[in-house]
Structure 1
Amino acid sequence: MDSRPMGKLAVLVLLPMLAMWLLAADSSRPASGVSAVARCELEGVVDTGSGEYLANCVQRAEQGGYSALLVRVDTPGGSLEATRTIVRAFLGSSVPVLVWVGPSGAHAGSAGVFITLAANLTAMAPGTDLGAAHPVVGVTGANPEDVGGSQLARKVENDAVAFAESIAHQRGRNAEWAASAVRDSVAASAESALALRVVDHLAPSEAEFLAWADGRAVQVAGGDTVRLSTRDAQVVELAPSFSQRVVHALAHPALVYLLFLMAALGLVVELSHPGGIAPGVMGAMALVLALVASSALPVRTGALILLLLGAMFIIAELFVTSGLLGLTGVVLLGLGGLFLVDQFNPNWFVDRSFRVSWTWVVPTTVVVAGAAAYVAWRSAQTRRLPQRGGDAGLVGEEGTTLAPVTPESGEVFVHGERWRATSPAPIRRGAHVVVRRVEGLTLFVDEVKT
C-alpha cells in the first residue's frame, strides 16, 4: 500500500495545527516595533499561587521584551513568604515595574504594603487606601504581645519593620511611614499617601497612569536606568496558569469553611442513604479541596480539628438520634469557622477582615444544621418502619397456598416467591395464609379466615 497520500494528508493536517500552536505560544509577545506593556493582577489574598504568578509575570516580561510591567493591586494581605517572593522579583527585575492600586474602593493592606513599595513607580486611584500592616490575633483583633508574648511580638514586628524600611530606602520612598504602617497599623488614603511620598501619583485609571509614566527614567536591577515608553502602548495581559488559578481561588477562609460544611453534609447524606455514591464522592472531594486550601492559608490546627469533630458528631447523630450529638456538632462547626484563620502567624500579614465572619458562619451553619437534622429525622423514621428484607421481613406477609399445607409439608406463594411451608392445622389448597415465623427455607403459616 502506498503511504505517500497518507503522509501528505498528515502534513496538511499537522502544519496548520503547528502554526496555531506557535501563534498561541507567542500570543503574549508584543507586536514587532510597537511599545508594549505587560499587565497582571493581584486581587485577593497573597498566597502561594499569586506569589508564583507575579514572579512569573516579571520573568515573562523580561523574556518578552516589554517596556514595562503593570500590576493592578487590590489585596487584604497574605503570606509573608509569598510577599517576599514578589518583592524579590520586583526589586530584581530588569523591566520597570509599575503598581496601580485600583480601581476606586480597592485596598493594598498588610502584605500589600510591601508589594506596593517595591514597585519602580506607584499610583493609586482616588478612593483607595494603603497600610495597616501590623499583625493582629484571631477574631478579637488582640495585640500580638497579649497572646504570643512580648519577645515573640517584638521579633516579628522588628523583622517586618526592617523589611518595609529596606524596600522604601531602595525605592526612595518614605521609610518612616513604612515603618509606622507596621508598628502602629498606620493607613493612608490615596491623597495622604501621595503627600507623604509613599506613592508617586494619583491616577483614576491604568491608561492615565501609563500616560503619566511615559518618558520618566527609573533605575532597574543592576543599576541601569531605563526611560519609560508607555503612552498609548499596547497592553498585553499575562494570564496565570491553571494551577496558579486553582491555588489562588481556594485561598479564602470562607471558601475553606464552606468546603468543610459541604464535606460534612455529603458524608451525612451518603451514610444515611448508602449506595447513593454521588453525595459521598462530592463530600470526599470537598474534604480533599478543603485540606488543600487550608495548606495555603494561615489556619489553626485546632480549628481544623473542631471542624472534623463537628462533622463526626453530626454523622454519629444518624446512628444515635439523641439530638445532643447533632447540636454539639453544629456548635463545633461554628467555632471551627470563627477560629479558622490564625491572624497572628509570623509568616502572614493580613487585615482583620481576612477571616470567616459571623455573617458568614451563622447562616451557613444554620443551613447545614437544618439539612443534617432533616436527614437524621428521616433516618429515624426509616428505622421505625417494619423490616422488608431478609427472614424478618417475611413475618406478617400474606400469601396463597399452592398445595395443601400440613404439619409435615406444604407449599405457599409469598412475596412473589414459592416457599416450603408447614402449619399446625391442615390448610387446603388456594387458601389465604399469613407468615408467623421463618426457619431456614421453611415458612410457618396460619390460615387467614375471611
Structure 2
Amino acid sequence: MNAQAQRARGRTFLLLLAALMLGSSVLAAGPPDRPVLSRCVLDGTVDAGSGAYLADCVRRAEEAGHAALLVRLDTPGGSLESTRDIVRAFLGSRVPVLVWVGPSGARAGSAGVFITLASHLAAMAPGTNIGAAHPVVGLSGQDPEQAGGEAMARKLENDTVAFAESIARQRGRNAEWAATAVRESVSVPADRAVELRVVEQVVASEEAFLAWADGRRVETPDGPRLLATRDAQVVELTPSPSHRLLHALSQPAVLYLLFLVAALGITVELSNPGLIIPGLLGLVALVLALLASSVLPVRAGAVALLALGIGLLIAELFVTSGLLGASGALMLILGGVLLVDRFDPSWFADRSVRLHVPLSLVLPTALVVAGCAVFVAFRGAESRRLPQRAGALGLVGELGTALTPLSSEGGEVFVHGERWRASSHTSLPRGAHVVVRRVEGLTLYVDEVKT
C-alpha cells in the first residue's frame, strides 16, 4: 500500500510538472503576432515615376511576405502606359491589393478607374468620386476626333473599353459600368459606386477599411487567400529617389525650366570660358530635360524650337546685334507653348488637370533668359572695346616717372607699379613725368608729359 501511494504521488508530481512547463511555454509565446501590411500612396498624376513606384510596392510586399498591400488613391489620371504597368502588377500580385480612394474630396479619375478596378478589394471615402475614363480629354481637353479623326477616335475608344472590361471581369466587378465610364465619361460618387458594384464599400478611414476587409476571401495567382487585416501593423513603402526624380520630371513646367537653365548655363560658360560651374549646371539641366522629355508626351518640333532658341542666344554672344537675342527669346516662347502635346492617346487626365506649360511661366522666364544672354553679350562687346591692360600693349599710353636722368642712351622709369629700362629721344631730368609710346623687348620708349 505504501508503494502504491508513492507511485501515485510520483505520477501526480509528473503531471503537475508537465502542466507547469506547458503553462510557461504559453506565457513565453505571448499574444499571437499581429498581421503586417504594406502601405503606399498615389497622390497626383499617374506617370513614369508613380507607376514604377506602385509596381515596386507590389514587388516589395511580395518579397516581405506581407498579408496585403494597402494603396491610398487620389489621382486625376495620367499616362496610360504607366497605368498598364500598375494594373499588370496588381493583377499578377500574389499579395492581396486593397485600394482606398480617399480622404474625402479625393477622386479616382480617368486612369485611376483602371487602377481601382484592378484591386482585389476597393473602398471609397464619403465625398469621393470615380469615373470619367473616356479618352476624349488629352492634355488640353481636346476630343480625339477633333485631333486625330473619327477613325482614330473609334480605335482608341474601343481599345480602352476592352482594357476596362477585361479588368472588371477578372475582379468580378461591373464590366458594363466600366465600358460606360470609358464611352460616356461617366463619373459616380462613392455610394453609387457601391450600388453599381464598382467598389465594395464606403468607409471613412483606412483603419475602418482594414477592419471591414478582415476575414474576407480573395483570389490570387496562388489561389484563394483569407485576409487578416484587423489591427494590422502597417509598414510604409516610400518611393525611392529615382521614383521621386521621375515623378518630378514628369511635370511640363519643370521640363521647360530645365531647358531654360541649360540655355542660360551654356550661354554663360561660352561667354566666360573657364568658369566651369555654369557650364556644368547647364549640361546637367540639359540631360535632365532630355530625360523628362522621354517620360512626357512632348513634340519633337517644340524641342527643336527650344534648341534653336538656345543656339540663337549663343550666337548673340559673338555677333552682338540684339536681333539674334530677340529671335532666340521668340523661339523659347514658341517652344514652351508647343512643348507638351495637346493631344496624346497615351495620356488620360480629366479637364481640371493642367498638364501643359502655362503662359504665365513661359513669357517671363523666356524673356529673363534672353535678357540675361543679351546683357552678357553686350558686356562682352564693351570689354573687347576697352584698351588692353595686360602684356606689352597694355603699357602703351601708361604714365610714369623718371627714376634717373633719361636720354637716348637709356635710363630707368617707374611705370605701372614696376621699374623699367627706358629710352627717350630727348634728355629728361630725374623726376620728369613721362608717357610710354612703344615697347621693344624689355625697354620702354617714352616722351615727356608737360604738366
TM-score by length of 1: 0.82
Partner of 2:5: none
**DSSP-derived class of the 2:354 partner:** coil
Report % sequence identity: 66
Q: State the number of aligned residues.
A: 419
1:359 paired with 2:360, answer yes
Q: Tell me, which stretches of 5 or more residues in structure 2 are unaligned?
A: 1-30
State the shift of 1:372 in Å.
Answer: 4.0
Return 153-162 or 365-374, whichever deviates more.
365-374
* 1:79-118 pair list within 5 angstroms: 79-118=79-118
Alpha-carbon separation, structure 1, partners of 2:192 and 2:327 = 50
Give the 3 Å change call, closer, same or farther, for CA 134–359 of structure 1 in structure 2.
farther
Alpha-carbon separation, structure 2, partners of 1:399 and 1:441 = 15
Question: One-letter code of the match for 2:343?
Answer: F
Give the 3 Å change call, closer, same or farther, for CA 312–71 of structure 1 in structure 2.
same
CA contact (8 A) 2:306 2:332 kept: yes
CA contact (8 A) 1:135 1:344 kept: no
Give the 3 Å change call, closer, same or farther, for CA 202–307 of structure 1 in structure 2.
farther
Partner of 1:349: 348
Return 415-424 or 154-163, whichever deviates more.
415-424
* 1:6-405 pair list within 5 angstroms: 33-135=33-135, 140-222=140-222, 224-351=223-350, 352-376=353-377, 378-405=379-406
Q: Tell me, which stretches of 5 or more residues in structure 1 are unaligned?
A: 1-30
Question: One-letter code of the match for 1:181?
Answer: A
Q: 1:270-299: CA deviations, max 9, x gaps?
A: 334433322222222212222222222222
Question: One-letter code of the match for 2:71?
Answer: V
Alpha-carbon separation, structure 1, partners of 2:368 and 2:136 = 30
State the shift of 1:166 in Å.
Answer: 0.8
**DSSP-derived class of the 1:168 partner:** helix
CA contact (8 A) 2:320 2:377 kept: yes
Alpha-carbon separation, structure 2, partners of 1:183 and 1:255 = 33
Give the 3 Å change call, closer, same or farther, for CA 64–137 of structure 1 in structure 2.
closer
Alpha-carbon separation, structure 2, partners of 1:130 and 1:337 = 33
CA contact (8 A) 1:138 1:341 kept: no
Alpha-carbon separation, structure 2, partners of 1:66 and 1:293 = 34
**DSSP-derived class of the 1:82 partner:** helix
Question: One-letter code of the match for 1:72?
Answer: R
Alpha-carbon separation, structure 1, partners of 2:192 and 2:205 = 18
TM-score by length of 2: 0.82
Alpha-carbon separation, structure 1, partners of 2:39 and 2:81 = 23
Alpha-carbon separation, structure 2, partners of 1:289 and 1:374 = 27
**DSSP-derived class of the 1:445 partner:** strand
CA contact (8 A) 2:72 2:100 kept: yes
Partner of 1:3: none
CA contact (8 A) 2:297 2:340 kept: yes
State the shift of 1:219 in Å.
Answer: 2.2
**DSSP-derived class of the 2:188 partner:** strand
State the shift of 1:67 in Å.
Answer: 1.8
CA contact (8 A) 1:40 1:72 kept: yes
State the shift of 1:324 in Å.
Answer: 2.6
State the shift of 1:440 in Å.
Answer: 5.6
Give the 3 Å change call, closer, same or farther, for CA 181–338 of structure 1 in structure 2.
farther
Return 429-438 or 284-293, whichever deviates more.
429-438
CA contact (8 A) 2:139 2:344 kept: no
CA contact (8 A) 1:401 1:433 kept: yes
Give the 3 Å change call, closer, same or farther, for CA 380–131 of structure 1 in structure 2.
farther
Question: One-letter code of the match for 1:294?
Answer: S
Give the 3 Å change call, closer, same or farther, for CA 85–315 of structure 1 in structure 2.
same
Return 118-127 or 371-380, whichever deviates more.
371-380
Alpha-carbon separation, structure 2, partners of 1:370 and 1:128 = 47
Give the 3 Å change call, closer, same or farther, for CA 364–188 of structure 1 in structure 2.
farther
Give the 3 Å change call, closer, same or farther, for CA 448–50 of structure 1 in structure 2.
same
**DSSP-derived class of the 1:293 partner:** helix
CA contact (8 A) 1:334 1:362 kept: yes
State the shift of 1:329 in Å.
Answer: 2.1
Alpha-carbon separation, structure 2, partners of 1:137 and 1:414 = 76
Alpha-carbon separation, structure 2, partners of 1:192 and 1:438 = 94
Question: One-letter code of the match for 2:435?
Answer: V
Alpha-carbon separation, structure 2, partners of 1:408 and 1:338 = 74
State the shift of 1:322 in Å.
Answer: 2.8
State the shift of 1:142 in Å.
Answer: 2.5
Question: One-letter code of the match for 2:264?
Answer: L
CA contact (8 A) 2:142 2:343 kept: no
Alpha-carbon separation, structure 2, partners of 1:184 and 1:63 = 40
State the shift of 1:99 in Å.
Answer: 1.0
CA contact (8 A) 2:45 2:77 kept: yes
Partner of 1:435: 436
Give the 3 Å change call, closer, same or farther, for CA 178–389 of structure 1 in structure 2.
farther
CA contact (8 A) 1:76 1:112 kept: yes
Partner of 1:7: none
State the shift of 1:119 in Å.
Answer: 0.7
Alpha-carbon separation, structure 1, partners of 2:433 and 2:367 = 53
Alpha-carbon separation, structure 1, partners of 2:55 and 2:103 = 22
CA contact (8 A) 1:104 1:125 kept: yes
CA contact (8 A) 1:330 1:369 kept: yes
Alpha-carbon separation, structure 1, partners of 2:94 and 2:139 = 42
State the shift of 1:123 in Å.
Answer: 2.0
State the shift of 1:161 in Å.
Answer: 1.7
State the shift of 1:76 in Å.
Answer: 3.5
Give the 3 Å change call, closer, same or farther, for CA 275–170 of structure 1 in structure 2.
same
State the shift of 1:380 in Å.
Answer: 4.7
Partner of 2:6: none
Q: Which has the larger radius of gyration?
A: 2
